[in-house]
Amino acid sequence: MTAPPRTRSRRGEGDRLREEILLAAESLLIETASQDAVSIRAVAEAVGVTAPSIYRHFVDKDMLLLEVCRHSFARFADALGEVLHDGPPEDRLDALGRAYVRYALDFPEHYRIMFMARFELSAQEYAEEMVSDESSFGLLLRVTSELIDSGRLRPELATRGPLHVGILFWSTVHGLASLLVAKPGLPWPDRDLLVDDLVTGALRSFRADPA
């Protein structure tokens, strides 16, 4: 784990080390479950290289973590995509919400840096990052669009558009997920029950006709 012997990369293969650095940073994040433990020096030692070498591949630590973020977002989107079977949009949103919280609990530190850390991105970068169709938020937007199109939404919500509704749902599941991640020591009641009531509650509040 500490320092495997390294053979220097060939001419055009500098990106190999870049990938190793990213993987090491991710591993460190998972193993230590602490963002502080992911120091430039620790990552460098894990890949068997000195600290300044990191800066050949990442302009600074924030950019390294941001790249880890991007990886996490991709895996996050995959995890959400897997539960998104065919069916009515309500069911799809329900599945999305449950998978969302589950992912946060499975990868708490990844969730932290994705949604609880403040990276100073421009609105431009955010737009690219989040609203792309393959992103997790893109998935959500697609489902809220379906929901609006289904006509079963409260009219005043439907007029606000998919983004607004998406953020409402996002807020709801993120609220529970982030609290569970941030305060694991709290005497939480049954988590599954909370997720259940929260997700079904949100869906209920969206529906025009209370069935």
Partner DNA sequence: GCGCATGGTTAGCGGCGTTAGGTTACCGTC
Partner DNA sequence: GACGGTAACCTAACGCCGCTAACCATGCGC
Please give the size of the binding site for its own copies, defined by CB under 8 A.
45
Q: Tell the smallest beta-carbon distance from residue 35 to DNA (Å).
A: 10
Report whether 65 contacts 118 (CB < 8 A).
Answer: no
Question: Is residue 175 at the binding interface for its own copies, with CB under 8 A as the rule?
Answer: yes
Q: Which does 47 bind (CB under 5 to 8 A by kind): its own copies, DNA, none?
A: none
Per residue, what are the HEC states of 150-196? Answer: HCCECHHHHCCCHHHHHHHHHHHHHHHHHHHHHCCCCCCCCHHHHHH
Phi, psi of 207 (to 5 degrees): -65, 140
Question: Is residue 55 at the binding interface for DNA, with CB under 7 A as the rule?
Answer: yes
Question: Is residue 12 at the binding interface for its own copies, with CB under 8 A as the rule?
Answer: no
Q: Is 40 helix (H, G, I), strand (E, B) or coil?
A: helix
Q: How far apart are CA 27 and CA 208, in angstroms?
A: 46
Report whether 137 contacts 131 (CB < 8 A).
Answer: yes
Question: Is residue 62 at the binding interface for DNA, with CB under 7 A as the rule?
Answer: yes
Provide CB contacts within 8 A for 34, sequence distance 6+. Answer: 109
Give the contact letters, 92-111, x = binds to its own copies (CB under 8 A), - = no.
Answer: --------------------
Which of positions 64-123 make contact with DNA (CB under 7 A)?
Answer: none
Residues that bind DNA in the complex, under the rule CB under 7 A: 6, 8-15, 17, 38-42, 49-56, 60-62
Residues in contact with its own copies by the rule CB under 8 A: 115-118, 120-123, 126-127, 130, 157, 160, 163-164, 167-168, 170-176, 178-179, 182-189, 193-194, 197-198, 200-202, 204-206, 210
